[in-house]
Amino acid sequence: PPPIEREALSRKEIRRLFDEVESYRNRLILVVAIETGARNSDIRCLRVEDVSVDEGLIHFRDPKGSRSYDVPISNNLVFELEFWCKHHRGAYTTGQDAGYLFPSQHGGKLESNGSLNRIVTGAADRAEIQETIGYTSLTDTDRERLNTDKERLEWNRVTTHTLRHSY
């Protein structure tokens, strides 16, 4: 696709977005994205042991083929992540051995960038801060590869990557 300029969300837009997130897990995922600037794939791959509540850090492993790094997090986020792990995360796992900080509803990790993007774009739609910022026409080969009948793809203003810019 052609390069798309992403603009950060305003504080007001971020609050509206958070107000429209449908679950505690999903809201916490968005808070991690906003507070760390992490990529979609890095958030989906976070494991429970990547959070150091004692040091107030999240460790990101091998992000996009780069070196691992640590990001300091606020005391509020430390509290929320600790609370999530102790009281809510177990409802998403098929056993405590799943390991992922934010498991899917079926256990294991959220499988694709699209799964996390749907959480963000759905909340943005409900918050009425979503808009289309571009289109890409699809060739027959593209449609076959993507298994779609669409003539073009829409590019949304608010995606998980937008949260990275809002960081």
For 7, 12, 19, 91, 140, the CA distances from 15, given in Å and listed in that order, are 16, 5, 6, 26, 40
- 8 Å CB contact between 104 and 110: yes
Residue 95, pLDDT score: 56
Residue 75, pLDDT score: 97
Q: What is the mean pLDDT of each run of 10 residues along the chain (167 residues)?
A: 79 96 94 94 93 96 83 97 92 71 82 87 96 89 90 89 89
Q: Among candidates 15, 23, 35, which has minimal Cα distance to 110?
A: 23
The Cα–Cα gap between 167 and 163 comes to 6
Residue 76, pLDDT score: 97
User: What does the DSSP assignment read for 2-18?
Assistant: ------PPPHHHHHHHH
| pTM of the model as a whole | 0.85
Terminal alpha carbon distance of the chain: 24
**Helix (H), strand (E) at residue 154:** strand 152-156
Three-state secondary-structure class, residue 148: coil
Residue 126, pLDDT score: 97
